Structures are given as structure tokens and as C-alpha cells.
Amino acid sequence: MVRRTREGDLVVLESPTYYGFLQILQTLGLRALEIPTHPRSGISLDALELALGQHPVKAVLVMPNVSNPIGASMSEAAKKRLVGMLAARDVPLIEDHIYADLQFGAAPPRAAKSYDRAGNVILCGSFTKTLAPGLKVGWIEAGRWRDRVRMLKFVASGGQNELIETVVAELLESGSYERSLRQLRRRFAVQVDAARAVIADSFPHGTRVTRPTGAYILWLELPQGCDSVALFERLLERGISIAPGPMFSATQRYRNFMRISVGQAWSERHERALREIGRLAAQS
Ligand SMILES: Cc1ncc(COP(=O)(O)O)c(C=O)c1O
């Protein structure tokens, strides 16, 4: 039977999590339960198991491969355990796979969905991060919620844009998409390294930065007492954009954290901007 969430229901998220998930939960009147997440290996499954035993969780929404903002990827054993744990409790897993194609490893990562035997995982992907942000083409493998998801998609956005879908399908079939992914992964890996080196050189002593498993997003912890919201406002006046830490938590945590994105073609201008963030962070 397909169940639906109701206002006030609890949904598990990683912490920190993508702010878009928080906005979705807020719009639907759902409550977030934040589970601690390791910067390299992803959500803590022990903490999740404990939470599932104590709270009436209705769904789990996570990014097992290249999460946003911390860039973590779960091991195969962990993905398998996650899927099994949720299937045993009949709690659906919503898997956001949007950055998975940008993972730095040689082979493409397996989705947690690949361990799903019960149709309990809803796998969501998109070409927003790999082809063009404005494209708005994605896909869902919704397991036993397929018909319901198809209907909700129709109601929410009135069907698909067939022209764009055909173009994307041709890019996939011709191999151009794969070739472009290889280039993107190489470019992002170099840019991430370059940005981490600038951060090590120019940010206040005690700053910590993630080493993401893919894509182009860095999550920074500034020394205690630094205020990323105030920093965001000062940087805005200079035309530099960061995402302050509290955006990534339902409970406004991470005041001394921030997310920066280094996806644009790296140039001296970007390096100067990053050094300026470090300089102002030291004063914040
Ligand atoms: C983690 C994550 N999921 C989903 C989305 C939304 O993607 P789309 O624009 O394809 O709906 C984004 C975009 O920023 C994202 O970072």
C-alpha cells in the first residue's frame, strides 16, 4: 500500500544537509530529524538506527554518493546496510543521486538503489549539475511509488518537455555525455585541489575544509566564534557569494561554517575572491 506523509511527520536528513531539502519539508509541513554525518563516509548508520528505534520516522532523504554540502560518499557496505535497515522497518529511502556522476573515482559509483529488493528506494537524478543548470531535466526510479510519483509530477509541473528530453537522450546514446563527464571530473578535481591550497594558505589558523569525493563544493569550518552570516553580508557588498552554515540545518547550527562552490572555470579572479573570503573571515 502506498502511504503518504502528513503534516508534522518526521523525515530524516543528513546534517549538514542541502537547504533545498529543508525548504521542501517546510513547504509540506514536515519536520526534519538531523542525523550526524561524517565528512568522508556519510550519514552515521549507528545514529540512524538509534533514531529509527526512538522516533516515528516516515522517510529518509539522503545523498549516499557525493553529498551536498560535505561531498561524502558511503562505502558499498554502508549503502547496503542503509537499504536493509530501512526495508526491515518499512521506511522509504529517497536517494538524491544528483552529484554521483561527478564522483572522482575511476568507476561510476553504485546507487544505494542497486541493493533494493523491495522497491523501497526512490532514486532521483538530474542533468542540472552535469549538462546545464537551466535544463530542468531529471529522472526518478521510484520503485513501488512509481504511479504515484508520475501523477504528482504531472500535477506539479504539467508533464515533460519532450524536445529537451530527446536531445538529452541523444547525448547519452552518442557517448558525448560520458566524454563530457570525464572532462568535468578532471577539471573539478583540479579546481578543488587549487581552492583547498588557497584556503590552507590564506584562511585563519584553525580553519578546516572537506576533501570532497566528487563535484565542486567545499564545506569549511572556521574557528569558533566566526560568524558566517555576518561574513556573507560583508562579502555580498564585494560581489562575492558564499552560503552561510545555518542554511544547511533545520536548527540553525553551523554558524561558524560555510559552503563555497568552485565549479566555475578557475581563474585569478576566483583565487582573489577566495583570498578575500579568508581575509574577512579572520576579522569576523
Ligand atoms: C543536492 C541537490 N538536489 C537537488 C537539486 C535540484 O536539482 P534540479 O535543479 O535538477 O531540480 C540540487 C540543486 O542545487 C541539489 O544541490
pLDDT tens sequence across 258-269: 999 999 988 999
In the predicted structure, residue 158 carries a pLDDT above the cut 90: no
Q: Whose CA is nearest to atom 11 of ligand 1?
A: 136
| Model pLDDT for residues 26-67, shown as the tens digit of each residue | 999 999 999 999 999 999 999 999 999 999 999 999 999 999
C-alpha cell read off for 2: 502506498
Q: Is the minimum distance from the CB of 24 to ligand 1 under 6 angstroms?
A: no
Query: Cell match 543548470: residue?
Result: 133
Distance 18 CA to ligand 1 centre (A): 9
Distance CA(22)–CA(19), nearest Å, equals 5
Q: How far is CA 201 from the centre of its chain?
A: 27
Distance 98 CA to ligand 1 centre (A): 7
Element housing 258 (H / E): strand 257-261
Task: Tell me what pLDDT residue 2 has.
Answer: 58
Strands 93-96 and 57-62: parallel
